[in-house]
Chain A
Amino acid sequence: MKNDIRVTYPLWMMGFIALLGVIAYGINSPKTEFIDTATETSLTVQIGPFESALIFGAIFVYLIVLTIFVSKVKQYNKNNPQQKISMFSIRPPEYLEADEGMTYITRWAVQKVYTFYSLALPALATVVIILPIPRLLIIYAILGLAFTQYGIYYAEVRKHFKEETE
């Protein structure tokens, strides 16, 4: 159960979020120059070699991780035809609802995430309103919230699966 894709799902999402952070840095780093005169209209986008490597490297790693993740989900669905994970479901697949014990653990973890958001979102909104924060930092703050959300959820669920004994 510890290695069940539903249990480890938050870790996968944390990995994807970290990669998105790298891609976001690469995409936001180019220098752009827009010229609009009577004789010329042009847009120049300059991406440095390091940033280019970062973007394409991160996209490459992202695709590899995504492929592994999709194959893991397919394997899970094959072994658990009664509890298939849909990649396009609105309901988060990390919810463990096989029985009332699992539902209890899930509810407990979701409550902790809700508590986190009820504090973090207003705090972030206030900071963004008051301070002149660059776009990239706002993106990182949002990714940070999502990363922390999955971290809280995973830590809570994992806590209950520790010291499993027959």
Chain B
Amino acid sequence: MLKNRVKEMRARHSLTQSDLGKQVDVTRQTIAFIEKGEFSPSITLSLKLAKALQVDVNELFWLEGEKEDEK
């Protein structure tokens, strides 16, 4: 399962789900789905999110049980 820290990074940048959604051209609901882990975004959207949140994509997303201890 894909884990993420989108919510954490979004809060760090003081962005709402709507703000982030607008930046990466998706709806607020999709950001909420990603944060809740209900939906694994495509590589394109993952890269867009990483760019918007100014982090490396590997810091934003990782596979459960792989690098979780490091996060």
Interface pair A100/B32, CB less than 8 Å apart: no
Bound-state CA distance A104–B18 (Å) is: 19
A-B contact count (CB 8 A): 42
- Chain A nearest Cβ from B51, distance in angstroms: 17
- Taking CB atoms and an 8 Å cut-off, the chain A residues in 54-105 that contact chain B are 98-102, 104-105
Interface pair A166/B17, CB less than 8 Å apart: yes
Interface pair B29/A100, CB less than 8 Å apart: no
- Chain A nearest Cβ from B42, distance in angstroms: 6
Bound-state CA distance A1–B28 (Å) is: 9
- Chain A nearest Cβ from B60, distance in angstroms: 16
Interface pair B32/A165, CB less than 8 Å apart: yes
Identify the B interface with A (CB < 8 A).
Answer: 16-18, 25-34, 38-39, 41-42, 45
Identify the A interface with B (CB < 8 A).
Answer: 1, 98-102, 104-105, 160-161, 164-166
Cβ contacts A to B, 28 pairs, < 8 Å? A1-B27, A1-B28, A98-B26, A98-B27, A99-B25, A99-B27, A100-B30, A101-B26, A101-B27, A101-B29, A101-B30, A101-B31, A101-B33, A101-B34, A101-B41, A102-B30, A104-B33, A104-B39, A105-B39, A160-B29, A160-B38, A161-B29, A164-B29, A164-B32, A165-B32, A166-B16, A166-B17, A166-B28
